[in-house]
Every structure is written in C-alpha cells, then in structure tokens.
Structure 1
Amino acid sequence: MTHLNLLEKFVIGEDDDSEYVSEFYKSDVESERLKLHRNTFLDNLKSRNIKVSCISDITNILKQEENDFMLKLSSECVQFIKIILTIPVTSCTPERSFSALRRLETYLDQE
C-alpha cells in the first residue's frame, strides 16, 4: 500500500519526487516527460477550478468525452495512470492459480 500511496501522491501533485517513479518503473516511463505531462494536466485542471484529491478523481475526469484533448496532451501521464490501475491489490489470484497448478501436478504424478 505504501507503493500505491507514493504513486498516488505523485500523480495528484502532492509529492514532486519523480526519482522513486523513475527508479521503480525504469524504462516503462520517461520520468521527465511524465513530470511535464503531469504538471500540464494538473495546471489545466487548476485553471478550470477542478480539485483533485485522489487518483479516482483523475480517472473520472479522463473518462469524460470532452476531455479527449487531455488524453492526447498528457499521454505519458495517462499511460502511467493505466500502469498504476493494473497493479493488483492482493496476491490472491496468483496464489489460487499456483494452488490449482499444484493439484494438477499431483494428479499427473499419481498416474
């Protein structure tokens, strides 16, 4: 959860430390471009008096059809948000998969 919290703070502009993001994601994101696109995105929201307090606020804004230009203007930021949203919250699904695989291996070994 600490990792997700740090990422959310970076995206909403509470934390300006792009070092953590660039170290963790290495070649998946261009840190300087990401920071520039994030700042552009947040400045645009600020000029329209839209307050952002969490990543779900940003996703709701990006889902709106009239914000299509925002998707193009801040493409690196949008890509980074997609990466964040694909992070699994728990490890239950992979554990179930390995458990099922173990049962199958046991079954095949018995034959």
Structure 2
Amino acid sequence: MSIRRIEVGPRMSEAVIHGNTVYLSGQVGTPGASVFQQTQDVCAEIDAALAKAGSNKSKILQAIIWLDDMADFGEMNKAWEAWVDPANTPARATGEAKLASPEYKVEIIITAALD
C-alpha cells in the first residue's frame, strides 16, 4: 500500500494518507484567542486539510482533543458541537496537556476515511 504525504515539512507532514485512511497532524487555532475561537479555527483547519486529502468531516473516524485546561471543556464543546456532522460523530477523547505554547488552548488530532 502506498503512503502519500501532504505539505511535508522538516518536522512533520500536515497529513499522511495510507490506504483509505487520512491522519492529520495536530491542528491549533489563533494563539491567544479564546478557547471557543481557537476551536472554531481548528475546525476550519481540519476542513481544509481533509479537503486537500480528498475527505471531509463526515468521514472522521476519531478525534483526539487536547485542552490546556479541562475547565474549558464546555466552551470547546460549544464550538465542536456547532461544527461536527451530527449524523456522523466520531469516536473522541479529550484530555488535558501542556501544549506547545501557553497561547494555545486547544489542539485536535484527526483520523478520517477517504471519500
């Protein structure tokens, strides 16, 4: 099976496609913005990355969400629930972690199927 990489950089690729599965790198929003805004930004980044790979949010299999503070769980969920395809919600886990910079409040990692 072939492996295709999208937007390859020195440290990572934005997406990797193996077989009929798309693996996105962790997506972050605008540094310093609210958790709600950062989540909206991340969802827009996910839409764009999945489109480049030939997929879309209805094909998301799994989402792993990292928050810098679990107290922001409700605010993140408001943005997530407004965006996610309600007929095709993915398996999901959310945890708390120190992110790459204190200005980042949320990071989302996606695995999806191809169209």
Question: Structure 1 or 2: larger strand share?
Answer: 2
TM-score (norm 1): 0.27
**Greater relative CO (CA pairs within 8 A, separation 6+):** 2
- Greater Rg, structure 1 or structure 2? 1
TM-score (norm 2): 0.26
Question: Structure 1 or 2: larger helix share?
Answer: 1
